Amino acid sequence: MKTTILLCIGASLVYTTMALAADKGFVMDGSKRTIVLPAPSVSLIDGPGRDITSSYCNICHSLDYITTQQKFPKTRWHGVVTKMVKTYGAPIPEVNVGIITDYIATYYGTGK
């Protein structure tokens, strides 16, 4: 009886795995799994620092996190960017923290 139950469970697992592998949403490239993300729907205002801001901020979150915030002053934006680095581990080099802060404060903050 136990053997029959174990065989049924084993067969069920094999068929489930085969069904998942055949699903078009389950893409395998060798032993790597891949997914296709949708294209970003938000682009930042053109200006000095846009490319750096877009590159680093978009690693962790959508750029609409920037575009939909309140118009904070530069000191507040500096605190937010610093928190992203120190608390959340954002891989932003220190030299780029100021560039990102200046860009966001100028185009999405109060500019001061």
* Structural contact between residues 57 and 66, judged by C-beta atoms closer than 8 angstroms: yes
* Structural contact between residues 84 and 92, judged by C-beta atoms closer than 8 angstroms: yes
Residue with tokens 């938000």: 42
Distance linking the first and last C-alpha atoms of the chain: 76
What's the rounded Cα separation, in Å, for the pair 42 and 45?
A: 10
Higher pLDDT, 4 or 109: 109
pLDDT at residue 37, as a whole number: 73
pTM value is 0.65
pLDDT at residue 53, as a whole number: 96
DSSP 47-105: STTHHHHHHHHHHHS-THHHHTS----HHHHHHHHHHHHHTT-----HHHHHHHHHHHH
What's the rounded Cα separation, in Å, for the pair 108 and 67?
A: 6
Report pLDDT digits (tens) over 12-55.
776 666 666 665 555 555 667 777 877 777 889 999 999 999 99
Report pLDDT digits (tens) over 83-106.
999 999 999 999 999 999 999 999
